[in-house]
A and B are shown apart, each in its own frame.
Chain A
Amino acid sequence: MAGLERPQILLASDLAHGDVVFLGASGWERDCHRAKIVYDSDAAAALQAFGQAEIAKNHVVDVYLADVAVDASGAPEPLHYREKIRALGPSVRRDLGKQAWLRRSGDAM
């Protein structure tokens, strides 16, 4: 078991809706903060394998791992700006995407 250079999460797109989803403790989550974080290569491989199985079951598409930082509350924050945008929505339309949904549902942003 080798440690990862940076912690990782698994993300994908929901097949039917196209929405970005993150693999959480008990299934796919819409909120990045609820994503399961892995710290070693075996756990990352297990996430990937789960993702591939989910593709085969036609639940999701475009599965991949992304590097994250872990904030003080233990929640993951994507490191790359591409995944930061995916986790929130368009930076030019704060009224759309996950950022709007999270605001409406009262989650802290």
Chain B
Amino acid sequence: MTAHDPVLPSRPNAGGTTYVYDQFDAAFVRERVAEFREQVERRLAGALTEDEFRPFRLMNGLYLQLHAYMLRIAIPYGTLTARQLRQLAYIADQWDQGYGHFTTRQNLQYNWPKLVDVPDILDALADVDMHAIQTSGNCIRNITADHFAGVAADEIEDPRPTAEFLRQWSSAHSEFSFLPRKFKFAVTGAEHDRAAIMVHDIGLRIVKSPAGEIGYQVAVGGGLGRSPFICKVVREFLPRADLLAYLEAIMRTYNRFGRRDNKFKARIKILVHERGLDEIREAVEAEFAAMDRAPFAYDTQEFVRIAAFFAPPSYAKLPARSASLETAKLENRDFADFVSVNVAEHKIDGYAIVTVSLKPIGGIPGDAASHQMRVLADLAEKFGLGELRVSHAQNIILPHVKKDDLFALWRALDTAGLATANAGLVSDIISCPGLDYCSLATARSIPIAQAISRRFADLERQRRIGELGVKISGCVNACGHHHVGAIGILGLEKKGAESYQITLGGDPTFEASIGELLGPGVSAEQVPEVIEHIVEFYLAERQGDERFIDTWRRIGHQRFKELAWREGEDGSDI
């Protein structure tokens, strides 16, 4: 049984391959907006104290930060239509400061909304099937997915129907609305992990059994923050029919045994670490065996209903090779560089996946001005079947671009200052907002990202260095994913000043690893110099096409630590 409209998608909101609200979804979101509007009115009238109001505003994604309120908007599995992005631009201009910040959870944050305006903003979001529900609080948060979902050449299955299935299951789930701590899912359906699933509370990998049946590898207990852990596989193959019931069993186990006495030990990663995988698996399987599974029985009709929204769009039949693309690459070196760095293989002949970097040299990682959002929305409609994605690396993806259109797209992006050819390179830095905005932060992170970006401004040099993930967090909560940066940077306070710890060897993929500390913290001014030394050492040591992480693994962390020690002894700033 489903409360949803059983009619398959043919609705006016459809602008790409993404879920479209029916009357049930729309009514649910509107009711939540109306409820929050009343809560805001009661707060402003003094009928609610801040302690009473705080849980309500957090449930609706509203924080109070250093300078103002901050509203976090959910972008489920990172998929946006052009219409939705245009609305985000409108909200930025109407009620904020003309820009938004894309985050590592594929969300968008406005940094300057007024409390009195937030209900109107939420109504404007509801107009385009968006909301801010469960972007905060101790509940299941926005479910993230591979940003190349549905178009990646290495994909077994589009992970977004699963992510949407889980979103509907977890939205306003009464049993899991007050968990010991927040809870994060990520899903991938590809052979290469682009969604960092191994550092989530639950990471789901769509796999195929030897018999050809689609199911899930279920990993549990990963996470970053002050105590980073890599997920452990609790089930190698879970049939799709058991997905919801098995996840219920995990969540119930966590809800029952997860610690509530200490906020810093309350995540499921601590439970898995303290009890051990075997004990957790035993508890989950026991719950799974004992529970009444009927309410969570796999509803084929519902999954099919959801999956239909993500059906491939109508692609043109094109040759794999585009003659016009090859000619343009020969005639324009900058364009050729952009294609080699920011364009990925599409599963359909004649199409490509384009990463639009939100990391201009010296810019603020993840920030997009409203006029840039509108340009991206226009270009998505003109060249990309009206669809965009947000990556956890804080970039925008155009997932369906004809190879024949790449040159025209690049020219338009270049005009808008959006053609930086650095996807995956040293200046494609993940950075949290840090102490420039965040009340939890202990140091600034954006200026560090900007300084490193400027230091490595030469894009030709960046390409010579190759794939290198630099990730920066402004506190131990690790929103900037520093633990899984090949080079990770953590900003802390030391004797009343900002200090930065550097780690090496982090990896967010299926081969996930947590970075190891290089040495004592350094000042903000010293960070670019230290990174420069590390990169030069890597270039001197690398063999063949080794990436930074490959060289680090081959020669070992100690060699890099010795470098840091030597440089320090020579009197340099390391």
Q: Do A and B bind each other?
A: yes
List A residues at the B interface (Cβ < 8 Å): 13, 15-20, 55, 57-58, 61-62, 80-82, 85-86, 89-93, 96-98
- Tell me the bound Cα distance from A62 to B496 in angstroms: 22
- Tell me the bound Cα distance from A90 to B367 in angstroms: 13
- Please determine whether B436 and A16 come into contact, CB atoms closer than 8 angstroms: no
- Please determine whether B69 and A92 come into contact, CB atoms closer than 8 angstroms: no
- Tell me the bound Cα distance from A44 to B117 in angstroms: 34
With CB as the reference atom, state the residue of chain A lying closest to B441: A82
Q: B67 contacts which of A80, A81, A90 (Cβ < 8 Å)?
A: A90
Q: B115 contacts which of A15, A20, A86, A96 (Cβ < 8 Å)?
A: A15
B364 CB–A CB distance under 8 Å: yes
**Are A15 and B497 also in contact (CB < 8 A) when A90-B67, A96-B97 are?**
no
Q: B114 contacts which of A18, A55, A82 (Cβ < 8 Å)?
A: A18
**A101 nearest CB across to chain B (Å):** 11
- Please determine whether B64 and A89 come into contact, CB atoms closer than 8 angstroms: no
B241 CB–A CB distance under 8 Å: no
| 22 A-B pairs in the complex with CB atoms less than 8 angstroms apart | A13-B64, A15-B44, A15-B50, A15-B115, A16-B44, A16-B115, A18-B65, A18-B114, A19-B68, A20-B67, A57-B46, A58-B44, A61-B64, A82-B66, A85-B435, A85-B436, A86-B66, A92-B444, A92-B446, A92-B447, A96-B97, A96-B112
**B451 nearest CB across to chain A (Å):** 11
List of B residues within 8 angstroms of A89 by Cβ? 67
Give the total number of A-B pairs whose CB atoms are below 8 A apart.
Answer: 69
- Please determine whether A17 and B435 come into contact, CB atoms closer than 8 angstroms: no
- Please determine whether B68 and A61 come into contact, CB atoms closer than 8 angstroms: no
- Tell me the bound Cα distance from A92 to B44 in angstroms: 32
B516 CB–A CB distance under 8 Å: no
With CB as the reference atom, state the residue of chain A lying closest to B497: A81
List of A residues within 8 angstroms of B64 by Cβ? 13, 18, 61-62
List of A residues within 8 angstroms of B444 by Cβ? 85, 91-92
- Please determine whether A86 and B114 come into contact, CB atoms closer than 8 angstroms: no
Q: How many B residues face the partner with a CB closer than 8 A?
A: 29
**A56 nearest CB across to chain B (Å):** 8
List of B residues within 8 angstroms of A19 by Cβ? 67-68
B116 CB–A CB distance under 8 Å: yes
B498 CB–A CB distance under 8 Å: yes
List of A residues within 8 angstroms of B44 by Cβ? 15-16, 58
Q: Which of B146-204 contact A (CB under 8 A)?
A: none
List of A residues within 8 angstroms of B65 by Cβ? 18
- Tell me the bound Cα distance from A1 to B450 in angstroms: 48
**A78 nearest CB across to chain B (Å):** 12
With CB as the reference atom, state the residue of chain A lying closest to B66: A86
Q: B496 contacts which of A18, A80, A85 (Cβ < 8 Å)?
A: A80
- Tell me the bound Cα distance from A89 to B436 in angstroms: 7
Q: A91 contacts which of B50, B114, B115, B447 (Cβ < 8 Å)?
A: B447
- Please determine whether A97 and B50 come into contact, CB atoms closer than 8 angstroms: no
**A31 nearest CB across to chain B (Å):** 14
- Tell me the bound Cα distance from A58 to B364 in angstroms: 35
B259 CB–A CB distance under 8 Å: no
Q: A16 contacts which of B50, B66, B114 (Cβ < 8 Å)?
A: B114
B43 CB–A CB distance under 8 Å: yes
List of A residues within 8 angstroms of B112 by Cβ? 18, 96
With CB as the reference atom, state the residue of chain B lying closest to A19: B68
In the A-B complex, the 10 residue pairs with the closest CB atoms: A18-B69, A18-B68, A90-B436, A58-B46, A92-B446, A17-B114, A61-B50, A92-B436, A16-B116, A97-B67
**B11 nearest CB across to chain A (Å):** 36
**A47 nearest CB across to chain B (Å):** 19
- Tell me the bound Cα distance from A15 to B43 in angstroms: 9
- Besides A20-B67, A81-B496, A81-B497, 18 other A-B contacts (C-beta < 8 A): A15-B43, A15-B50, A17-B114, A18-B64, A18-B68, A18-B115, A55-B50, A58-B43, A58-B44, A61-B64, A62-B64, A81-B435, A86-B67, A90-B436, A90-B437, A91-B436, A91-B444, A91-B447
Among B45, B66, B496, max chain A CB count under 10 A is at: B66
**B92 nearest CB across to chain A (Å):** 13
List of A residues within 8 angstroms of B68 by Cβ? 17-19
List of A residues within 8 angstroms of B116 by Cβ? 16-17
List of B residues within 8 angstroms of A55 by Cβ? 50
- Tell me the bound Cα distance from A16 to B41 in angstroms: 10
- Tell me the bound Cα distance from A87 to B115 in angstroms: 20
**B37 nearest CB across to chain A (Å):** 14
User: Residues 29-55 of chain B: 1 if any A CB is under 8 Å from the residue's CB, otherwise 0?
Assistant: 000000000000001111001100000
List of B residues within 8 angstroms of A86 by Cβ? 66-67
List of B residues within 8 angstroms of A90 by Cβ? 67, 436-437, 446
Among A57, A82, A89, A90, max chain B CB count under 10 A is at: A90
- Tell me the bound Cα distance from A82 to B114 in angstroms: 22
